[in-house]
């Protein structure tokens, strides 16, 4: 039980950092704490999916972080594109 809570906390913290970094990379600011965490988590899922489609796999924590960051940047870019297009 204790390991599950630690895993979720680290997942949320990394998601927040990844979402915040993606917001900085794409536009220069994030979406707020909850928005950054959500973008980071969904971006991590998107990055993992994109990596598996092209046959790239992360074997380290740093590789997983980069995969999540690429997915989050792609997600933020898409949301900004559709927001500007509307």
pTM across the whole model: 0.79
CA distances 61 to 25, 65, 69, Å, are 21, 6, 12
Span 24-44, mean pLDDT? 78
Residue 74 lies in a domain: yes
- In percent, the amount of the chain with pLDDT more than 90 equals 5
The number of folded domains in the chain is 1
Residue 9 lies in a domain: no
With 90 as the cut, is the pLDDT of residue 60 above it? no
Residue 53 lies in a domain: yes
């Amino acid at each position: 039980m204790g390991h599950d809570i630690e895993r979720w906390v680290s997942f949320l913290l990394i998601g927040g950092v990844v979402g915040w970094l993606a917001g900085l990379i794409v536009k220069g600011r994030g979406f707020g704490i909850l928005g950054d965490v959500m973008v980071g988590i969904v971006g991590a899922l998107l990055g993992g999916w994109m990596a598996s489609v092209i046959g790239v796999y992360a074997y380290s924590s740093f590789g997983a972080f980069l995969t999540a960051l690429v997915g989050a940047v792609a997600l933020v870019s898409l949301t900004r594109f559709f927001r500007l297009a509307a």
